[in-house]
Amino acid sequence: MEEEIPVVICAAAGRMGAAIAAISSIYSNTEANVLFYIVGLKNTIPHIRKWIENSKLKEIKFKVVEFNPMVLKGKIRQDASRPELLQPLNFVRFYLPLLIQKHEKVIYLDDDIIVQGDIQELYETKLAPGHAAAFSDDCDLPSTHEMVRSVGMQNTYMGFLDYRKQAIRDLGISPSTCSFNPGVIVANMTEWKHQRLTKQLEKWMQRNVEENLYSSTLGGGVATSPMLIVFHGKYSAINPMWHIRHLGWSPDTRYSEHFLQEAKLLHWNGRYKPWDYPSVHTDLWENWFIPDPSGKFKLTRPDS
């Protein structure tokens, strides 16, 4: 038996087509034995299951896992500016060992990505001893740097944590430290459990509810900040071509087509999603999208 590659993706109400395109792109570009863990809330699970079983994705190996949002009770501060970032499924990545039982190494992917490379390559990312996860660093890609500057993006800890708060200063982390993006994670479950990382992440969520520790200008949402604290100085690097991001940051900023063809994974983090309008490089995303057989999910296009 070749090794199974577990890939965790969330299927959220209102944007379920995202998970479908992500899964379709991964499945189409690999010969590896991938097992998809599709995580959803109780009311959305039947829809995603039907979509897969009634489309060309019916060949994939998958398990549907229900996430119970009650685990987040008392751990999330209500933030009115971007309510979509408080969706319970945004926090699934904190609970990987509870959702995935029998695997040592796991890939977690945000739903607003597509994969153009062979997922086996990402799975083979080396984790240093004592590291429970690998992420892509926000200072690692020269060609994105111009873009980061042009649209004022956050790429340091100062953009995510409120350094006026004592609890943050006490961490002793320089505010100019490069942040990382937890939309693509390669994780080691044994190490994660051993370091009790879920407990640590929950502790910082609770402290934020009490003390409001995250930066108010939050570019990347509330799930990133606790991870920046807990994984600081304790993560390995993902090859930058396996996480080309910020495609959803501005409807006016584009990458060169040649650069995007070389990329192994594209991530539309930001407000401008490729199933909505306006957005950029939507053709690359739409290549992998499979229309909803039930007709409930529709793409938003200028002529629709």
Structure tokens at 139: 């200072």
Backbone angle region of 269, left / alpha / beta, with phi > 0 → left and psi within -120 to 50 → alpha: beta
pLDDT tens for each residue of 175-210: 999 999 999 999 999 999 999 999 999 999 999 989
Alpha helices in the chain (DSSP H): 16-28, 45-53, 96-99, 119-123, 142-150, 166-169, 189-194, 197-211, 224-230, 257-262, 282-286
Answer yes or no: is pLDDT of 155 > 90. Answer: no
pLDDT tens for each residue of 99-143: 998 999 999 999 999 999 999 999 999 999 999 999 999 887 655
245-263 mean pLDDT: 90
Q: What is the predicted pLDDT for the residue at 265?
A: 97
